[in-house]
Amino acid sequence: MSNYKFLAKDYEALNPKEVIFKQDNFFKDIIDRYSIKTCLDCSCGTGWHLSMLDELGLKCYGSDLSPEMLQ
């Protein structure tokens, strides 16, 4: 059983959108350097990285073991 089943409720407060989106310049450099068009986040959790990458223009896909995190 994943610990994220129990962490999911508080995960958002610990890793809010505002913190994740501050990483956008780091990812933009990589996207531009390698002409990346799509991404798959195989542990997307609450999905804020996918949301940020979507805003940067990538076609995004995600999956996660924890239904609680996805919800």
Ligand X SMILES: C[S@@+](CC[C@H](N)C(=O)[O-])C[C@H]1O[C@@H](n2cnc3c(N)ncnc32)[C@H](O)[C@@H]1O
Q: What gap in Å lies between CA 26 and CA 53, rounded to an integer?
A: 11
Question: Which position among 39, 53, 60, 69 is part of the footprint of ligand X (CB under 6 A)?
Answer: 69
Please, is 46 exposed, middle or buried when counting C-beta atoms within 10 Å of its C-beta (0-12, 13-18, 19+)? buried
Distances (CA, A) of 40 to 13, 55, 64: 24, 15, 11
Each residue 9-48 as x (binds ligand X by CB under 6 A) or -, in order, gives ------x----x--------------------xxxxxx-x
Closer to ligand X by Cβ: residue 13 or 42: 42
Positions touching ligand X (CB under 6 A) are: 2, 4, 15, 20, 41-46, 48-49, 64-66, 69
